[in-house]
Each structure stands twice: as C-alpha cells, then as structure tokens.
C-alpha cells in the first residue's frame, strides 16, 4: 500500500487507508489564534491547510443549530456520551457525537476545563466579552517583553475591529429583557468598585431581530454562551477572520480532521491527522508534509499535541511544556438582587467591576441572568500556577490545579461580592457549580517554550499562536481579546522576519 513509511505505527490490514500528502503551511485549530494566522497568511499570499477537529456549525433558519443548556444532546458533547457540564449539576447520557464542548476533568476531581470544538473553536461558545486589561493588570499578567503601549495603540484596536466588539446599544439596553443588565450597572455604581464597560462581539441587528420575534430568541434569553447561539448573533471567528481567509481562496479549512501529533523530519514536519466521522471513528489517516506548522488548538489542545509529539519521539521538547498553566483565576457565582423581577432577564455583559492595586488585581463581569438571578464570572491574577501533564498509557493529558490556588481565587472574587453586597442591601451571592474554567491559559508559554512571538524554541518553522502562550492569566479579564491581539502581534513579526 502506497504511503506506508512513517516513523511511528504500521500498516496493518485492520487500519484505515493512510495517505501522505504534500502540503503548504499547516494551521491546527480555528479559534481566535488560528483564524488570525489563517487570515494574515492568506493576505500575504501564503496557502494554508487549516485542520479543525470539529464540524462547521452553520446557523439554521429553524433556530436549532445548537442544543439548549437545559436540554443537552449529542451536539453538546465532544465525543463523550457521559456529558457532565460543570455549571449544570448531574450527568446526562447523550449520543456520541462531535459536539461543541469538550469537558476535561482533572484526575484529582477539583477542577474541570471546558474547551470548544468546531469551526470557530472557543469563539463558538464564549460569552462575547472582549475587554482590554488595564496597563497595571496587563503588566501583572504578561511578560515584561510585551509592550503594553504597542498593544494599546495597535493590536487591541485591530482585534476589536476585526471581532466586531462594541458596547450594548442604548435601544437594546432599554428593552425589558435587559432589566438585569441595568440592575448590574446600578449594583456596581453603588459598590464603590471601579466600573468599566464590557464591549462584546455580537451583531446587534440580530439581537434586535430576536427582540422583535423575527429570529429564535437566544442571546436575549441567556442561550448564547457555552451551548452556542442559535440566532447567529455571536461574531465567532468563522464569521470574520476565518471567513475572510477562506474568501481569498488560500485557506483550505478541513473539518473533522483531528491532528494526533507532529513529527520533525529532515524536510520539515509531518503532521499526523485522523479524518474522523461525526461519531468519532477514523475513516482515513493522513500524513501532511509542511515546512511550517502553527499550533492553535487552545491551551489544552496545543499542549496535548506538544506533549504527545514529545512522548512519541516526534519533537524534542523540554520539561517546560505543560508548565505555567492556570485557569485565568475564574470563579463563577450567582447573584440575587431584590431589584430584579421574576422572569427572564438576559443578554450580554455590559459592565465590569474591578479592584486593582499593588496587592490585588480582580475583576468581575456580569455574564447572564437565569430568571431572577444574575450569573457573574470573577477573575483574578495569582503568582500561583498549575501544570498540564501527559499520561503515556492513556495517551492523553491530565492537569494539576492546586486547591490552594482555587481558594485564593475564590477569596479574591468573594471580596468583590462583599463590596457589591455592602452597597446594595438585599443582594447576595452564592457559588455556581463545581470549580471550572472556560479560560485555560498556558502550557507553551512565551519565554519558556516559545519566544515572545510564538516561535517554538529550537524548532524552526514551528509556532504556537493561542492561549497556550500566555502564563495563566490575562489581567482579570476574559482572555479572548488578548489572545487575538497577541496573535496579531505575532503574525506581524513572523511575516516580516520569517518570510
């Protein structure tokens, strides 16, 4: 059988056909970092193959592209019939399918990570928040080699423009469905905490159509984050960066292609890929030759691939891979306020509360409102990290997150709630589900595994361009905007210096 000489594995008769394909630049992942790379390379006239393990989720007119949070099904879960979303107590049995959420639990059982799957990656399931850290918060989180002035002047504005970030328009804010949003603003005003707007990546015309009843209500009833947005109001990367890349004809996006590992060769790199079905079976094994490979599978996915490639002898990497990982200091809670009426009060975030001084960087966004409650996501910055490890027997990652770190996170965020409660009699907060994060960061960190533009040290043509680059925290803010801005910064340097 042709194409059966590879470094690892064999050509047994029970295996699917294997093919070796000569290809251009390879990008692994279609989230914030991978989509930036695809577009900027396409602009420069460079052809790419973009591998996405999940499927393409085109918004359907019947409003049933994604499942709801209350009624999960196979579309909810990445190839795991035993679905257990941390914010919803209890496991649910679903069909095995290439759903939008991969839930990765630590073997210690003290933390769960939720990662996106599908064209758009994490942007399919994120809450839309695109907030820039302050300079103080940025400097506490990111390496000193990253110039905040340059980020503020060039890369944050570029990322906001490309992602369609803007604050909630006044006409939408005045709608009854946004009562909780206005209550959140009033809470922060009375708290004495610093208040700042929370720009979001939504198409407000689609939101208006929701409110008029012309499209399925999704964002306006709180069904936009985690499960996906059935109205199409979320500006996922498949609708901006990646779409523009594909329109050039230079980005070949291949869905249901799960990269297994990368192997260094005398000619560059061989990318080993399983082409899978919608139920996860391998239908074809591919080997793609590339001079350059961009890892953009998210902090968990990219670190998994690097560690697996190291374990299989494909890449020679040091012990730094997997280190400096953290949860962005996430802590979810539900707030109750007597100013809220019963009923549905939902929508995107409009405000953040924060406390920043020499000893503490903590922020809280008002994320969503189920009934008369308001969900909040608190974030802080610690000097403490966990790490991602690799189990060669299971051929998969595990991760370690210290209980001491989560206790410090929860205490810092509780301090914000205490300030809000003190200024708003009748309000209170309670924890929301078991400890979890939607913002894993680190594992292939700048200055350790990569240089400060994502080049993997000692491996010419190998790059990391996603949240794995960031050492665990992004200034007590949702990391989406910072990941995108750092990817833009990296691509400028790579295209200028690497050809």
pLDDT band at 12, cuts 50/70/90? Answer: very low
pLDDT value of residue 177: 77
For the stretch 450-497, pLDDT in tens is 999 999 999 999 999 999 999 999 999 999 999 999 999 999 999 999
Q: What is the pLDDT of residues 130-143, one digit of tens each?
A: 999 999 999 999 99
Residues serving a catalytic function are: 365, 439
The residue extents of the domains of the chain are 18-497
Bridging pattern class, strands 268-276 and 428-431:
unpaired
Give the residue from 259, 263, 305, 257 showing the smallest Cα distance to 283. 257
- Helix or strand (DSSP H, E) at 276: strand 268-276
- Domain covering 18-497 in this structure, CATH number: 3.50.50.60
pLDDT at 170: 92
Check if the beta carbon of residue 279 is closer than 8 Å to that of residue 74: no
End-to-end CA distance of the chain: 37
pTM score, whole prediction: 0.94
Which of 396, 406, 412 lies closest to 434, judged by CA?
A: 406
Q: What are 403-451's pLDDT values in tens digits?
A: 999 999 999 999 999 999 999 998 899 887 789 999 999 999 999 999 9
């Amino acid at each position: 059988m042709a194409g059966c000489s590879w470094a690892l594995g064999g050509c047994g008769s029970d295996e699917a056909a294997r093919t070796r394909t000569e290809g251009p630049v390879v990008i692994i992942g279609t989230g914030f970092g991978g989509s930036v790379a695809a577009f900027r390379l396409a602009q420069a006239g460079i052809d790419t193959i973009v591998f996405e393990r999940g499927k393409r989720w085109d918004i359907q007119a019947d409003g049933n592209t994604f499942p709801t949070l209350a009624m999960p099904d196979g579309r909810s879960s990445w190839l795991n019939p035993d679905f257990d979303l941390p914010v919803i107590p209890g496991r649910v049995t679903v069909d095995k399918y290439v759903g939008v959420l991969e839930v990765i639990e630590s073997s210690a059982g003290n933390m769960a990570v939720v990662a996106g799957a599908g064209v758009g990656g994490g942007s399919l399931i994120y809450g839309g928040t695109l907030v820039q850290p302050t300079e103080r918060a940025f400097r506490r989180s990111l390496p000193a080699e990253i110039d905040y002035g340059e980020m503020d002047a060039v890369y944050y504005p570029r990322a906001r423009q490309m992602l369609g970030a803007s604050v909630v328009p006044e006409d939408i804010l005045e709608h009854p469905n946004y009562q909780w949003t206005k209550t959140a603003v009033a809470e922060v005003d009375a708290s004495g905490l610093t208040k700042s707007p929370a720009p979001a990546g939504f198409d407000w015309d689609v939101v208006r159509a929701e409110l008029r009843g012309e499209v399925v209500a999704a964002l306006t009833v709180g069904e936009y984050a985690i499960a996906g947005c059935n109205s199409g109001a979320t500006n996922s990367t498949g609708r901006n960066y990646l779409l523009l890349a594909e329109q050039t004809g230079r980005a070949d996006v291949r869905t249901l292609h799960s990269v297994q590992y990368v192997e260094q060769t005398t000619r560059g790199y061989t990318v080993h890929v399983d082409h899978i079905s919608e139920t996860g079976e391998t239908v074809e094994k591919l080997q793609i030759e590339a001079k350059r490979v961009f890892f953009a599978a998210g902090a968990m996915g990219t670190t998994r691939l690097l560690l697996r490639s190291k374990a299989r002898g494909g890449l020679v990497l040091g012990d730094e891979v997997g280190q400096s990982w953290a949860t962005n200091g996430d802590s979810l809670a539900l707030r109750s306020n007597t100013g809220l009426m019963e009923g549905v009060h939902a929508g995107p975030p409009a405000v953040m509360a924060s406390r920043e001084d020499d000893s503490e960087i903590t922020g809280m966004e008002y994320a969503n409102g189920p009934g008369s409650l308001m969900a909040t996501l608190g974030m802080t910055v610690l000097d403490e990290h966990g790490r991602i490890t690799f189990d060669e027997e299971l051929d998969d990652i595990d991760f370690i997150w210290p209980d001491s770190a989560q206790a410090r996170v929860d205490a810092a965020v509780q301090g914000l709630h205490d300030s809000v409660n003190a200024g708003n009699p009748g309000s209170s907060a309670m924890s929301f589900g078991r400890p979890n994060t939607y913002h894993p960061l680190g594992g292939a960190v700048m200055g350790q595994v990569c240089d400060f533009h994502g080049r993997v040290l000692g491996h010419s043509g190998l790059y990391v361009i996603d949240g794995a680059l960031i050492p665990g925290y992004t200034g007590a803010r949702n990391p989406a905007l910072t990941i995108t801005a750092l990817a833009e910064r990296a691509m400028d340097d790579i295209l200028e210096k690497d050809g």
